[in-house]
Amino acid sequence: MIHTLRIQTNRRDEMIDITRLVSGLLKQEQEPADNGMAVIYSPHTTAGIAINENADPDVRRDVLMRLNEVYPWEHPQYQHAEGNTAAHLKAITTGTSQTVLIAGGRLVLGRWQGIYFCEFDGPRERSCLVQFIRG
C-alpha cells in the first residue's frame, strides 16, 4: 500500500521534519513490517527528500543558506520561463527519495537523524508518498 502525506509548506525554501509522520504511518499499517524498508518519495520536480540532523534547527538553516548561495533564485543565464530554475536544481541535489531500513517495527535512523521534506518552490500544498516493504 502506498500512503500519501499532505504537506502544507509556508516558505519558498524550507525543510519540514516528517519523521514522526512516517513513523506514525508505519504503526498504522494493518500488517506492520517488523523488518524491511520504507521508501519516502516526492512526486515533485521542485521538492526533495533528505535525511539529516534533526537536533539542531541551525543545520536546516545552514543547509538552505548554502543551497541558496549555490543556486540563487535569479541568475542572468537561467532560461526556464517559469523562473524557478533554482528550485529544480535544489531538488536534483537533494534527490526525490530516501530509503530507511525498518528493524523491530521501527525506522532505523541514527541518533540525530530525521527525514525531511524539502520545499524549494513554496509556499504550496505538497504530497509525499510512503511505501513500506516487508523483508
- Determine how many CB atoms are found less than 10 A away from the CB of residue 96: 15
Q: Could you tell me if 6 and 113 are in contact, meaning their C-beta atoms sit under 8 angstroms apart?
A: no
- Report all structural domains of the chain as residue ranges with CATH numbers, in order of start: 2-134 (2.60.120.460)
pLDDT of 87-125, one tens digit each? 999 999 999 999 999 999 999 999 999 999 999 999 999
Q: How far is Cα 22 from Cα 42, in angstroms, rounded to an integer?
A: 13
How is residue 128 written as a grid cell?
Answer: 509525499
Residue 28: Cβ within 10 Å count: 9
pLDDT of 32 strictly over 80? no
pLDDT tens per residue, range 38-82: 999 999 999 999 999 999 999 999 999 999 999 999 999 999 999
The DSSP string of 101-129 is: EEETTEE---TTEEEEEEESS-SSEEEEE
The answer for residues whose C-beta is within 8 angstroms of residue 6's C-beta and 6 or more apart is 125, 126, 127
pTM: 0.95
Provide CB contacts within 8 A for 93, sequence distance 6+: 48, 67, 70, 71
